[in-house]
Amino acid sequence: MKSFSSLALLSFVSVAVACVARALASTLSPTTAISREGLNVDWAPLLVAAKNGLLTRVDKGSETMMSLEPLAIHNLLEHDASFSRDDYRNGTGDNLHFNETIFTALANSNPGVDYYNTTSAARVMYERLQFSIATNPTLINTQRELTGRAGTGALWLAVMGNATTGVAPKNFVQIFFREERLPYLEGWKPSPSLIGIAQLGPIEQALIAGSNWTQSQHCEPVVTGPGSQVNTAA
């Protein structure tokens, strides 16, 4: 179903989890509309993302369907060092469509077991960033991008797997990214409980802690809500 462009939703929610405005299009699907209900993800984080992004509608229509293509704009919501998309670079990189070469780091991670977890996903974040540092002279890598990347990781771990433990079957994650569909046929089910910031936050923090992140540039603080601010790095 077109409205279940799952990659897009995961990317989209990640922005909210990260509470930053620039997390998206590196995991965006080119499909234009998505629905949140199929994944059992809370609306609140989505709305934060929408407000921070380009989506300003607040009528009922915008609560169920969102336009995603504008979110591929580099460094608005989209970020470098994605799990599944190439860096934008100087405009020569395709930051919108799935890239199997980029995905290799994730696909090959946590060898010997059939699941991904926060340890393995954090290592992939590290590897992906090292690749971008080595190959992308126009890399943007501030704390804002870090929170976006970790938020995205928390989303696919929680939505494809267990939102409490952050453990997700590899098969589900693979299908989700490569085929851009929800793996119902393979046995995936939406989380029995609503996934919100309470679940995603700890997973995101574990990813940040495990990824040995170093910044390439410093960004100004991004105020995301009352008492909430991204970027305290010097």
Ligand X SMILES: *[C@@H]1O[C@H](CO)[C@@H](O)[C@H](O)[C@H]1NC(C)=O
Cα–Cα distance measured from residue 117 to residue 4, given in angstroms and rounded to the nearest whole number: 24
Q: Closest CB to ligand X among 111 and 227? A: 111
Residue 91, token pair as written in the block: 């405009």
Q: Closest CB to ligand X among 50 and 177? A: 177
Q: How far is the CB of 184 from ligand X (least distance, A)?
A: 15
Task: From residue 212, give the alpha-carbon distance in Å to each of 79, 80, 119, 175.
Answer: 18, 17, 11, 28
Q: How far is the CB of 196 from ligand X (least distance, A)?
A: 15
Q: Closest CB to ligand X among 5 and 84? A: 84
Cα–Cα distance measured from residue 191 to residue 201, given in angstroms and rounded to the nearest whole number: 16
Q: How far is the CB of 120 from ligand X (least distance, A)?
A: 6
CA 28 distance to own-chain centroid: 9
Q: Closest CB to ligand X among 31 and 162? A: 162
Strand partners, 116: 168
Q: How far is the CB of 6 from ligand X (least distance, A)?
A: 18
Q: At what angle do helices 197-210 and 143-160 cross, to 10 degrees?
A: 120
Contact residues toward ligand X (CB under 6 A) are 86, 90, 92, 94, 99, 101-102, 110, 113, 117-120, 122-123, 126, 162, 164-165, 192, 211-212
Q: Closest CB to ligand X among 101 and 232? A: 101
Q: Closest CB to ligand X among 108 and 165? A: 165
Q: How far is the CB of 41 from ligand X (least distance, A)?
A: 14
Q: Count of CB atoms within 10 A of residue 187's CB?
A: 9
Please state whether beta strands 168-169 and 228-230 pair in parallel, antiparallel, or not at all (unpaired).
Answer: unpaired
Q: How far is the CB of 211 from ligand X (least distance, A)?
A: 6
What are the φ/ψ torsions at residue 74 (nearest 5 degrees)? -60, 130
> What is the 3 state secondary structure string of 179-191?
HCCCCHHHCCCCC
